[in-house]
Structure 1
Amino acid sequence: MVNQMNARSILSFFNSIPKSLGFALLIWVAAMMPARAGGSVELRVAIEQNAPQVNVGSSGTAQVLDGSGQVVGEIQAMNGFAAQAKNGGVALDRWKSGAMWIVPKQATDVVWIGNRWYRGRVYLVPTGKGLTAVNYVDLEQYLFSVLGAEMNGNWPQEALKAQAVAARSYAVYKLQGARNSINSVFDLDDTTRSQVYNGVQSESTGTQQAVLSTAGQVLAYNNRVVEAYFHSSAGGCTEGSENVWSTALPYFQSRQVGFDEGTPVSAWSKTLSLSEMSSHFGVGNIQRIAPKNLTKCGRVLAMEIVGDRGTKIVKGDDIQAALNLRSTLFTIAAQPIASKAGGKATLQFVVTGRGFGHGVGMSQWGAYNMARQGKKYNEILPQYYIGAVLVPLDPQ
């Protein structure tokens, strides 16, 4: 029998939520939450994947449905359960089925998945390595959370509106691709692999306002919704998508943009010792490092690294990962330094870079600066999605 968690146990889940939230958060959500509009788009977001068990519950009474949609029982408000994959199906308290739903009776109630509260409903399905929990949630309500997770909810409204349109476009693009795959059980996940989605805890009045004021608006190019990537800071130059993911998309172009100058991540540097630098690349003590291939913007596609035990050509993103750099828009300079013991001079390496992220699509800090300068969201977006236009989303 799967362990049932009493009300006291599920309340302990709140330990992962800031104390300023808790029950006050649920009351706020209930007050602010609009009911799902007819004809709206529902997303499938994977919250837990291949997990041995998933903690689930509801803020109000919820129905438990089997995989065919038949009601098999109810769970009461603030009672938590540990769902498990068992014998090719899902076990939840006394119920077992090939798959299972948890559906709140009231649209204003929220569901618990893992360690957070979410709007919408829960679909539990066994996978080869465990259990996957999918949050079925209205697109606009999903964006309430994404905006607060991907951008500061206190930023200017026009920047948040630009983010709302970009995030909505990206989600719809991914949804369309997933729905064309018969084996897909979700459209996106809740991490940076898709868009960060933290449930109701990352919502705010500012994010809700930005989403609702742009509701249903997406970016399209040649009558197709665009894959609207975004990042923290372009470092002065947006990147062509072919230099990051091999596929050239006409609305992502390498071009100089000065909108994010002076922001916290527009320029940065890092100094590494010879031993720190050499430990990552397997060529012994590094003697020389030089760019092998750069993009038009100057992002590193590859560098030649020469050491006393060999030479390697290393990809720019591999160097970024190894050295924990903010972007591939960097240079590396070797500087001789005298030995403290007065012996032979050695080297240190100074990495000087710009921007944060892949550089494709909208720079969030650029949007912030333009909004501060009085630009509207429909003036911000064309700077980053070249030739794309704002269109209303067809929910069909």
Structure 2
Amino acid sequence: MTIPSGSGLTHERSIGWTGGCFALAFGAPVVSLERSVECALDETFSQDRVDDASGVSCSGLTPTKVERIWGVAAKAHGFGTLGFSAALWDCDRTSGQTVERLRPSCDHTHVVSIWTRGTTVSELYFDNKLRFRRVRRRGTFQLSRAGESLRVLLSETSGSCLDLYLPVSLLASVVGTEFDYGDGGRLELLPLKLEADPVITRLGDEMAAEIERPGVATQAALDAAALTLCVNLVRRWSNLSGVVRPSRAGLTTAQVRKATSYLKDTMHRDVSLQTLAEQVGLSPFHFARAFKAAVGVPPHQYQIRLRMMRARELLENTMYSVGEVATQVGYDDASYFSRVFRREHGVSPGQFRRAKVS
């Protein structure tokens, strides 16, 4: 394992790394290790506050910062434009060994951890107090609220975990704009145990697939996921559940026309939710909800549809190769473009072209 410079971690405790987690033998003392990790986190936060992978100013947890602290790369990670980010961690099966994951407290970030594949027996401690010991299965999630330290013991582990890093300021902004509820100062997320939520399960599956095979619309997809997660947390897992109602203000016809025209003109490149919202003078959260209500799909899905429509035209009316068509509509990876095309149209680009020719 790579030890972060100046972290205070040494090899004296026979610490191993297994699938993205610290692995210690049963009964091994961990107090000094936890303090050392906290020192590493403090050092990481004292560095430049612009995350080097996303370019977004951020004083909280991000995949890149957690990688520095743990000294290992995530299987995949992705960054939105609003401070929201995601990391996919693999945890390999262990035999006769407990896998331990330590994450010191951070006042700026909530972390939603979704088990996306396999099973594990989990024992979770928040602020050094046991909250639960249960079997984690695909689709279950846990919430680490800002300010809480986390210690997880995993045994009989085989699977993957997706961590979603949600800035406190982002959640408060959603409460203030999406729900017309001031600045979000009264919002408190509930102290959850291991939970199941179909919206969060679906979100985990979509984000894991998105960051493993990033495409032109990955940033926009992460921005949209941030909004979905925020709204769901407020509605179902906060002290405001059942109290606040979403704002009903929508888009005017002129705003819809301006937004869709902008997406058409920029279909070949990634467009952030922030940039789109600025075109019609709205907040990203209000715009995303209102756009879906007016058009029927989120902005990034609408952009994908525009690309696929243009791809159909090029396949039917030009001699461009599939790779050239992919580049024309904004995809650097022809294989990824082909998968998206098949998902949208039920056939591969080559099959579509042959059917039109015949």
* Structure number with higher helix proportion: 2
| TM, length-normalised to structure 1 | 0.28
Structure 2 length-normalised TM: 0.31
Q: Which has the higher contact order (CA 8 A, sep 6+)?
A: 1
Structure having the higher Rg:
1
Normalized per residue, the structure richer in strand is: 1
